[in-house]
């Protein structure tokens, strides 16, 4: 997958709604719901890069491996990749 960057909240949620994460570690059938459950209701920026065979976009394998979602000062990072357990981290920027 080509890297993607989105700064439109509606566009971010639409893209995340089409992503499913399988495999080990963090998994979900709908990444948008997962992100919202973590408290990111109005994300302001998304970047996604890399390739993960256990991540699916619109039902097709090999979606992005690393997702970074920002909502003002909070940042959610979900990272994985081939042969890696997917992890999640939330941080706050100063």
pLDDT digits (tens, 9 = 90+) for 37-91: 999 999 999 999 999 999 999 999 999 999 999 999 999 999 999 989 999 999 9
pTM value is 0.94
| Start-to-end Cα distance in the chain | 31
Which residue in 67, 62, 57 sits closest to 30, CA to CA?
Answer: 57
- Structurally, the chain folds into a number of domains equal to 1
Q: What domain range is 70 assigned to?
A: 4-92
Q: How would you classify residue 55: left for phi > 0, otherwise alpha for psi between -120 and 50, otherwise beta?
A: beta
Buried b (16+ CB within 10 A) or exposed e, 52-70: bebbbbeeeeebbbbbbbb
């Amino acid at each position: 997958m080509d890297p993607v960057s989105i700064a439109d909240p509606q566009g971010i949620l639409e893209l995340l709604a089409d992503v499913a994460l399988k495999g080990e570690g963090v998994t979900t059938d709908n990444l948008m719901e997962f992100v919202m459950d973590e408290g990111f209701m109005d994300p302001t920026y998304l970047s996604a890069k890399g390739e993960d065979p256990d991540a699916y976009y619109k039902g097709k394998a090999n979606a992005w491996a690393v997702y970074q979602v920002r909502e003002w000062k909070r940042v959610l990072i979900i990272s994985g990749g081939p042969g890696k357990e997917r992890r999640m981290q939330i941080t706050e920027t100063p």
